[in-house]
């Protein structure tokens, strides 16, 4: 079972629209106006690949009285580091991930790339400071992975691996 959509409140719908269409490559597929508290909200949907599901949606609350100063950074506003709460989207291959990274660099974003061993990822922040990620799986999950996951879910005194995964910051305007 997949998901239908994820919905997040934003401060600036125009900036969000530009980011998710230009930087992320998503397609605007639906917008709904919803009466709310004497004003209205826009609920705006973008396809992340399929027009039937796996959408991302944004709430533009700028026309709702009392919502002028909403907090929208789903990590920093809660006191976490920027990467704690994030949204990861699939890349099709390492080559696709590299093309997406280059596209982000070409748009002026510094891009963090991390090889987690079983998945490779690239990261930037959207206009609300929400970390977004493109990721490509480099290993398939096994029954042993599932058994280890269940064990790690419950362990209270684990032996930690302090090794930092290979990572690289790709600066906008510099050579790959």
Domain positions in the chain are 5-60, 78-170
- Give dist(CA 71, CA 74) in Å, integer: 8
Confidence of residue 76 (pLDDT cuts 50, 70, 90): very high
Give the pLDDT score at 87.
96
Q: Give strand ranges (E) for 13-171.
A: 27-36, 39-47, 55-60, 86-90, 111-115, 119-125, 131-137, 167-170
Give the pLDDT score at 175.
64
Q: Is the Cβ–Cβ distance between 5 and 50 less than 8 Å?
A: no
Q: Is the Cβ–Cβ distance between 17 and 60 less than 8 Å?
A: no
| Each residue's pLDDT tens digit, 154-169 | 999 999 989 999 999 9
- CATH number for the domain whose boundaries are 78-170: 3.10.180.10
Domain 5-60 identical in fold to domain 78-170: yes
Going by C-alpha positions, the residue among 99, 127, 126 that lies closest to residue 113 is 99
Element (H, E) at 145: helix 143-154
- Give dist(CA 110, CA 83) in Å, integer: 15
| Each residue's pLDDT tens digit, 9-43 | 999 999 999 999 999 999 999 999 999 999 999 99
Give the pLDDT score at 21.
98
* CATH architecture group of domain 5-60: Roll (3.10)
**Tokens matching residue 119:** 């998945």
């Amino acid at each position: 079972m997949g998901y239908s959509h994820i919905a997040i409140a934003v401060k600036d719908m125009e900036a969000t629209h530009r980011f998710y269409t230009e930087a992320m490559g998503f397609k605007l597929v639906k917008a709904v106006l919803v009466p709310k508290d004497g004003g209205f909200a826009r609920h705006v949907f973008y396809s992340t690949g399929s027009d039937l599901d796996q959408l991302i949606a944004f709430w533009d609350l700028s026309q709702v009285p009392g919502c002028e100063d909403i907090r929208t950074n789903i990590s920093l506003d809660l006191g976490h580091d920027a990467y704690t709460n994030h949204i990861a989207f699939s890349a099709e291959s390492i080559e696709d991930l590299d093309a997406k990274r280059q596209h982000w660099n070409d748009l002026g974003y510094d891009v963090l790339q991390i090889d987690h061993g079983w998945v490779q990822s690239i990261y930037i922040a959207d206009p609300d400071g929400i970390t977004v990620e493109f990721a490509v799986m480099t290993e398939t999950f096994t029954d042993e992975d599932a058994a280890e996951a269940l064990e790690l879910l419950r362990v209270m005194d684990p032996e930690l691996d302090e090794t930092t995964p290979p990572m690289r910051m790709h600066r906008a305007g510099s050579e790959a």
